[in-house]
Chain A
């Protein structure tokens, strides 16, 4: 479904970022002193808590808002978030798990061919932008699905979007464009 090729493209999700609220005020000092695997950052006003089981890092603010990063799938993010809320509950706070939302999904994908970035940028003028002085990849932003794709000349691309669905459809959309600008295989 990805292309008319017989090889399927592997889209590997590397990072899922999610936020949720605990609906109660959290005392960061208590968490910092009594929690396990925590790092207190008083200058930023937050506590970092790292979980092992779904490998997740969470930034906890005293208002009760928590950002969860490092998960490898949406379900993992949810499990990790709930586990985090449970840990906070055990520390004595009246935690209510609410407003869980996946905010960002980052995936990498590798094309089986190398890409000519200059051609790609010229063909997709306003949507694609390439500044070799600033970043070696060309950025392609698809507005209506709110996804951003960074295309490297080796053929690997990274896609970021608000959820996994969008990421998949973004890859599908961009594949034909990349296919046109590929570098011929033989030298």
Chain B
């Protein structure tokens, strides 16, 4: 019985695929049949006759009850969809079989082509994987990872940076994302988690800015202060003092043309030397990625006006006159 119906089905489906099904209700040939998806029926609205054309039931395959503590929901299959970033995850993969039927005579498995994933997005998926790895190394939150992924997608779709290594573009996107979220990471920090050289990252960075027409805010030493100070283990008053020193130094323009990272490092050095937790130039240089001679140079620039640079309510462990003079 079922076989006959199936053959019928094949007949109608081989015909025009887009036309309405040719079966009509015998009593009401003009009536448009109503589809019942759950049961796979076509029903005539006038007399209720079931002209069961399709036997495909599009309902769920298992029954799930809401009060059952089912650990897995059997009607959901596959990974969570990532619609913004992929071209729609509508691929079907055939997995290697386990039964005897999936092996042919020589013992080799049939259906070997498991590798055909969504090939156009394979590069993008690889890049996302790489971004995820890099971000995990410096413990970046999901917001930044999402933003990086979005940026990478935009760059990838524009195709003007097609020649460059995907890793370089991914790294540059990560840098931009951190900047855009207001928590900039220095190039050296990003370099530490990426195989790409600082020069290449900088080059890709400039190209991406031009291509996506983004303009970023400049870094100021205050953005980096919390991270550096907590890495060094400096308490809050010292951090506030270093922040104040750096800000004042930039306002008074004692350090023209100097990188804000170096300014931050010198400010931390001065603040820590005036407090009970003294850090050496080498330690600060290691954390900030700045050479200790640079810290020394900048310290010499800000030392003459040290009295103005400290916040008024700072408790000096070492008074200003006793600060080291390099």
Contact = CB atoms under 8 A, between A and B. Distances in A.
Nearest to B202: A134
Given A118-B218, A121-B218, A125-B215, A131 B202 contact: yes
Interface residues of A, number: 19
Nearest to B210: A129
Nearest to B289: A133
A132 B256 contact: no
A154 B256 CA distance: 8
A136 B256 CA distance: 10
Contacts of A132: 218-219, 257-260
B253 interface: yes
A104 to B, nearest CB: 19
A134 B219 contact: no
A136 B257 contact: yes
B228 interface: no
Nearest to B184: A133
A114 B256 contact: yes
A183 B256 contact: yes
A129 B253 contact: no
Contacts of B256: 114, 116-117, 153-154, 183
Contacts of B213: 126
Contact of A117 (B209, B215, B219, B257): B257
State the majority secondary structure of interface residues on B: loop
A133 B258 contact: no
A136 B257 CA distance: 6
A91 to B, nearest CB: 39
Interface string B202-234: 100110010001010011000000000000000
Contacts of B202: 131, 133-134
A130 interface: yes
Nearest to B253: A183
A152 interface: yes
Nearest to A116: B253
A133 B218 contact: no
Contacts of A117: 256-257
B156 interface: no
Q: Which of B187, B218, B256 has the most CB of A within 10 A?
A: B256
Q: Interface size bucket, B side?
A: 10 to 19
A122 B253 CA distance: 16
B186 A133 contact: yes
A149 B206 CA distance: 16
Q: Which of A114, A126, A132 has the most CB of B within 10 A?
A: A132
B261 interface: yes
A169 B209 CA distance: 27
B82 to A, nearest CB: 32
Contact of A129 (B206, B250, B261): B206
Given A118-B218, A121-B218, A125-B215, A133 B257 contact: no
Nearest to A133: B187
B257 A153 contact: yes
Contacts of A118: 218, 250
B219 A129 contact: no
Nearest to B262: A132
A133 B253 contact: no
A153 B256 CA distance: 6
B257 A129 contact: no
Contacts of B218: 118, 121-122, 130, 132
B257 A152 contact: yes
Interface in A13-31: none
Contacts of A136: 257, 259
Contacts of A125: 215
Interface of B: 186-187, 202, 205-206, 209, 213, 215, 218-219, 250, 253, 256-261
**8 smallest A-B Cβ distances: which pairs?**
A153-B257, A153-B256, A132-B259, A134-B202, A133-B187, A136-B257, A125-B215, A126-B215
29 contacts: A116-B253, A117-B256, A118-B218, A118-B250, A122-B218, A125-B215, A126-B213, A126-B215, A129-B206, A129-B209, A131-B202, A131-B206, A132-B218, A132-B219, A132-B257, A132-B259, A132-B260, A133-B187, A133-B202, A133-B219, A133-B259, A133-B261, A134-B202, A134-B205, A134-B206, A153-B257, A154-B256, A183-B253, A183-B256
